[in-house]
Chain A
Amino acid sequence: MLSVFEKKNGILRFEKKLSISPLSYLIVLIISIILALAVGAIFIRINSFDPLEVYQFMFESSFGSAYGISETIVKSIPLMLSGLGVALAFRMLLWNIGAEGQIYMGACAATAIALYFPRLPSGIMIPAMLLAGFVGGAIWSLIPGIMRARAGVNEIITTLMLNYIAILWVNYLVFGPWSDPASFNQPITPKFPVSAMLPTLPGSRIHMGIFLGLVFAIVLYLVLTRTRWGYEIRVTGESESAAKYAGINIVRNIMLVMLVSGGLAGLAGMAEVAGVLGRLQQSISPGYGYTAILVAILGKLNPLAVVIVSFLFSSLLVGGYAAQTIGVPAAIVSMLQGAILFFVLAGEFIARFRLRYERRGN
């Protein structure tokens, strides 16, 4: 145990609690957010804005109106899908930090279908693009998966490195072979045919991706808690040697988990190009794959919690962008987002640990 404070007559230690009740976690979460907002208020005040007004506006822009909520949901879709993938891999202690690259490869594969087979009817086009998106992301995560499973190559490094390759590959395509002839060499592909666009809820940009996210969250939850395979994943995550001893096929599971993890991120990329943008372009993801890591960890790697966290996180992002439109500097917004994360993570730490004071001689 970590000792924080030592004096003649006693020691103060951090002690890990065996479990936290969801209620106490929730209380800690709320306190953390309030404290973060308080810290943010100081800085907003220094910049001569009214903190209450700014917070109210941020809240309105992400939760307080139909448009705000719809936009928050749109933004949460890529976070949710790639967050689910990351959570699954992390459950098995596979540190897949390559969701960003897997998003790009999924988007790229789906785009290939839309560009090379533009005449397909919607009923075939959309499933084909979904499949392509999944496969694109899955291949990109399977490469480090095989390397890890067969040769023990550290997946943190390989998944990270593959991110850069994926982004540069998409850059190459949108500047070169897939460039829209009407765009004067600007880095965009032609617009997808209408049949390649995911259906949206009327009057908003919410697309079918949200159902994919929700369905996969439930399926993953059931798989993890109710199936033999889910049990194997959890056991391997708790202790690899125990899993080996129990006769679990770790090599196969590593590859399977990486495949599904990358496939989900690939779907996020597919949903982004076919649901929102309508074409492949540079910078389709402003770091969704990295934010997904935060989402997965804040959601405690629980698929259902990932859904909620991705929605909350996206409201934080949407509100943050919106704050700039009333003149709040971007730096303040980033600071506030950072403060909220910092306090939530610190709060979670405090909730998990208990301070205990021990008298000498006890």
Chain B
Amino acid sequence: MKRWFRFKVILVPLLILCLGLLAAGCGSKQTNSGQGEKKEKLKVAFVYPGAKDDFGWATTQENARKQLMKEFPDVQFTAVENIPEGSDSARTFTQLCEQGYKLIIASSFGYQDAVHEVAKKYPDVKFIHCVGTKTAPNVSTYFGKMYQLRYLSGILAGKITKSNIIGYTAAYPVPACLSGINAFTLGVKSVNPKAVVKVVWTNTWYDPAVEKEAAKSLLDAGADIISMHQDTPQGLIAAAERGKYGIGYDNDMTSFAPKAAITSLYWDWTKIFAPEVQAVLDGTWKSQRIFKGLEVPGFLNLAPYGPMVPEDAKKLVEEKKALMESQKWDVFTGPIKDQNGQIRVKEGERLSDDDIWGMNWLVEGVEGKLPQ
């Protein structure tokens, strides 16, 4: 008895060790054969601060990465996830440069210092940095004119709402969120001047429970439509549970609440990244601020409408969408007043891309304050 137990105590670790050695042993052969055909392949890395399967922002980037792998079979696309925005990011970028990556897509604003620090040391590596406030010879910044879709979904919401209260949960008062809220409100007001847009800040990009609570608080305040700007579909789900409507974001979230989803505003970043990858391959890559919208076919998309969307709203959306696709008109065309009644965009003028990229005010008709 005693001996058998002792035997087991030694046997189990030994077994683990053997299996491990086996795994290590048969591994080396296979990869060695793979290394034989190593060529100077372009290597592209996507760096995410959170998990790549968050169903939100990182997923939009990850979907693009997977699509790019199909479009550029000779290019290696690597995902690096859960890289904190503190001291770890600079090291990770350095290691990627050392590993021979020539294009690095830094998908969060918080990487800004690290990106610029490392980019200076590796001038031959190109960086594309999300919503950055500055560029460098080898650092581009990128975001998209999602506010255009926000405006269109505002038209839908303005037509559909019965209580004339529309809820909007947003993460932080950063320009991307503010331009979205403003455009949405302008869209609502264009068809329904009586409606108000109530905003609740969640102070998080990713927290399913908080996002749901925020949406519930807006529903309690009488909202019958929830629009949202965070990563998860919880706002939509909260609306569905109360028999109200919601508008998804980031990805096509309509499947989470087919009956409640008015539509979902989603990105296809392949349309933006593919030309960048091609430019690196061709040697024609240039540093720039990438800020494109509906003029790029297939980049910004509306998911198929829910059954509650009336025909006249659909028609109106098509009209405005066509105007923005042809760039004849844009959302922030004056006169536009801010919450204090001060005129921000004069009649007949159009807000510049610079001003939208750095937007820090809310339009008239938004209920909710900018956190000071």
Contacts and interface: CB of A to CB of B under 8 A. Distances in A.
Given A325-B45, A325-B78, A186 B131 contact: yes
Contact of B23 (A51, A177, A276): A51
A314 to B, nearest CB: 11
A160 interface: no
Interface stretch (A29-37, A93-101, A110-118, A231-239): A29-37
Contacts of B23: 38, 41-42, 44-46, 51
A360 to B, nearest CB: 12
B24 A52 contact: yes
Contact of A75 (B6, B27, B51, B87): B87
B78 A12 contact: no
Interface string A313-344: 00000100110111100100010000000000
Given A12-B5, A67-B94, A183 B133 contact: yes
Contacts of A276: 86-87
A10 B96 CA distance: 60
A324 to B, nearest CB: 4
A74 B87 contact: yes
* Residue in B45, B81, B85, B175 whose Cβ sees the most chain A Cβ within 10 Å: B85
B27 A9 contact: no
A82 to B, nearest CB: 14
Interface string B5-49: 110010001001101110110111011000000000000010001
A42 B15 CA distance: 12
B157 to A, nearest CB: 25
A79 to B, nearest CB: 11
A7 B1 contact: yes
B357 interface: yes
Contact of A9 (B1, B24, B78): B1
Interface in B58-96: 78, 80-88, 90-92, 94-96
B16 A35 contact: yes
Nearest to B90: A205
Contacts of B1: 7, 9-10, 357
Contact of B174 (A34, A61, A186): A186
Contacts of A285: 86
A200 interface: no
Interface stretch (A130-138, A168-176, A252-260): A168-176
Contact of B175 (A184, A321, A326): A184
B342 interface: no
A41 B113 contact: no
Interface in A278-331: 278-279, 281-286, 318, 321-322, 324-327, 330
A330 B28 contact: no
Contacts of B357: 184
A185 interface: yes
B371 interface: yes
Given A355-B5, A357-B2, A324 B80 contact: yes
Contacts of A42: 19-20, 23
Contacts of A61: 95
A111 B233 CA distance: 36
Nearest to B21: A38
The 8 closest A-B pairs by CB, nearest first: A38-B20, A286-B84, A45-B23, A50-B27, A184-B358, A41-B20, A41-B23, A50-B31
30 contacts: A12-B5, A35-B20, A38-B19, A38-B23, A39-B16, A41-B19, A42-B19, A42-B20, A44-B27, A51-B20, A52-B28, A53-B28, A61-B95, A67-B94, A176-B372, A184-B359, A185-B172, A188-B110, A205-B87, A272-B86, A276-B87, A277-B86, A283-B85, A283-B86, A324-B83, A324-B92, A325-B95, A327-B78, A330-B51, A357-B2
Given A9-B1, A272-B87, 5 more contacts: A40-B20, A61-B95, A176-B372, A325-B78, A330-B80
